[in-house]
Structure 1
């Protein structure tokens, strides 16, 4: 049995609204246990006897069928999530700058983002793992930050999602329960 964090991309923004209670009910139809949603932005922790890739496929299929949108998720197992958090050189709490981690289900996409993001003026990136890249943005300026604009491009939509480092920490804590 493995513990997973499942990060849904693009829900409760842009007209795609999924209530967390409805999401939990839908996920209960899958072979997942200890399903918990965190916050209202598509963060789920669960356990399963299948691989992360199988969880990804099951959850994306379910979301597409049940909620009728082009669903994409990134699934990270507990050891990888713990390593990502431990490796992040940026603080979890800072009133001036917020720390983010862009996660990907495709390391080649993360390579591409790291290469192009590293070319942006004023952008500092830290590669945390094959599936994770950390960066910071001024408080209140996240969406306008150069890396945020880069990672929001359509070519990254199906394989990436970004979370505040504090959210990853909350997911790790929820896995311990």
Structure 2
């Protein structure tokens, strides 16, 4: 068995409300074990067989997205990682994890080419208060406190172009997912 993490995009913001109990129930109905939700922002940790190929991982991702769309009536997108992959990305966060002026974020992606494009565009827009670094399957972002939703980088990350393949999480949330 493999411990998986599904990071749902846009849940409990912008009018898409899903109760954690309903989310856990759906994942249980899909046959996953030890299902846990973390916070109310679309984070599900669960056990499932380890797919041997990337194609099988894609099937798992599509199965979850389709079930979410059918059950909750919205166009669902997730980033799917193993808990070990999540731990590796969190461990590689290259900036200060805590300070009085910034928040530590990870922008996760399921398409490396899209992440490359997003990273290049974000680099061109960032201010001296933002810090960015590219990792495998992730963009590390140190965002200014009080401005993590209205900076040029934040507005870029929120664009419709990136919705189907990216989602971001605060490093503290990621660390909670690692304990679930």
- Is the contact between residue 109 and residue 159 of structure 1 (CA under 8 Å) also seen in structure 2? yes
Aligned to 1:53: 58
Partner of 2:94: 89
What TM-score do you get using the length of structure 2 for normalisation?
Answer: 0.91
Check the 8 A contact 1:99/1:164 in 2, yes or no: yes
Alignment of 1:166 onto 2:178: no
Mapped contact 2:101–2:145 kept (Cα < 8 A): yes
Partner SS for 2:172: helix
Per the alignment, in what secondary structure is the counterpart of residue 110 of structure 1?
helix
Structure 1 runs, 4 residues or longer, greater than 4 Å off: none
Total equivalences in the alignment: 173
Q: Distance between the aligned counterparts of 1:121 and 1:28, measured in 2? A: 41
**SS of the residue 1:119 aligns to:** helix
Q: Deviation at 1:31? A: 2.4
Measure how far apart 1:50 and its partner are.
4.5
Counterpart for residue 23 of structure 1: 23
Judged with a 3 Å threshold, the aligned counterparts in structure 2 of structure 1 residues 32 and 91 are, in CA distance, closer, same or farther, namely farther
1:116-168 CA distance string (max 9 Å, x none): 11112424211121x10111111121101221111111110111001001111
Aligned position for 1:145: 151
> What RMSD in Å do the two structures reach over aligned CA positions?
1.3
User: TM-score, structure 1 length as denominator?
Assistant: 0.92
Q: Which structure 2 segments of 5+ residues have no match?
A: 52-56
